[in-house]
Amino acid sequence: QVQLQESGPGLVKPSQTLSLTCTVSGGSVTSASYYWTWIRQPAGKGLEWVGRMFMRGSTNYNPSLKSRVTISIDTSKNQFSLNLSSVTAADTAVYYCARLTDFWSANYRMDVWGQGTTVTVSS
Amino acid sequence: QSVLTQPPSASGTPGQRVTISCSGSSSDIGSNTVNWYQHLPGTAPKLLIYNNDQRPSGVPDRFSGSKSGTSASLAISGLQSEDEADYFCAAWDDSQIGLLVFGEGTKLTVL
């Protein structure tokens, strides 16, 4: 059974780069069947799509974050990561990683999620 | 930046049937299938419905989904106390490749 676990600093200073990692267990990030995604939820607000990455290098980012976000995969560690630069208080949120399956069809869905990790941007 | 519109709250008593709506536009729900997720704070969101009305294995048939035009609905019948959670809808937005949009979420209270 595939499990995802987010990790990273819970506190980031304004203007710095937020870096999170999602460790995949019970499966492989090199699978051609999935996209690996990041989603966030600011306190009291709805979910926001951050972006997705395919193991062969294809990425798509939320246009509102595109200039600041990078998602990458480390196959040696079976992990994928999120880097968000020049953060502000508006980037304070719970960040989730998730697996996106059947992405080419009407059956697309995020079928496995991490528990989420809270990141606060504050000096 | 929620694009899909959901009511902020819904409620019902045990055994009742409740529905939660999700309204979008021609570029998202109107063009793509809808997913529904259940979320309890502090836990991983759980997939409830995909492709508008399909249930993953393990999801009780008390949960059902439908879609018409640019709107979708999640229905929960035989409401149980453990159904108290946040529910949110999601769909691709064709205005941007690889952009998934979500609803703001609906907090369901079981009275």
Residues of A in contact with B86 (CB under 8 A): none
SS3 B6: coil
- Across the interface, do A52 and B42 touch by the CB < 8 Å criterion? no
Q: Structure tokens of B45? A: 């969101």
Residues of A in contact with B92 (CB under 8 A): 108
Query: Measured between CA atoms, how close is B12 to chain A, in angstroms?
Result: 22
| Positive or negative torsion for Cα A90, A92, A97, A101 | negative
pLDDT, residue B100, reads 94
Residues of B in contact with A62 (CB under 8 A): 1, 99
Residue of B nearest to A97 (CA): B44
Q: What is the C-alpha separation between B37 and B63, in angstroms, rounded?
A: 11
Per the rule left: phi > 0, alpha: psi between -120 and 50, beta: everything else, A102 is: left
- The contacts of residue A48 (CB under 8 Å, 6+ apart) are A39, A40, A41, A42, A62, A93, B1, B2, B102
pLDDT digits (tens, 9 = 90+) for B65-103: 999 999 999 999 999 999 999 999 999 999 888 899 999
Residues of chain A short of pLDDT 70, as ranges, are none
Q: What is the C-alpha separation between A99 and A2, in angstroms, rounded?
A: 9
pLDDT digits (tens, 9 = 90+) for A17-34: 999 999 999 999 999 889
Identify the helix (H) or strand (E) that includes residue B102: strand B99-102
Residues of B in contact with A111 (CB under 8 A): 47, 56
A40 contact B CB<8A: no
Q: What percent of chain B has pLDDT over 70?
A: 98
Angle at A42 between CA A62 and CA B1, to 5 degrees: 40
- Is residue A47 within 8 Å of B102, Cβ to Cβ? yes
Average pLDDT for residues B49-72, to the nearest whole number?
97
**CA A119 to chain CA mean position, Å:** 12
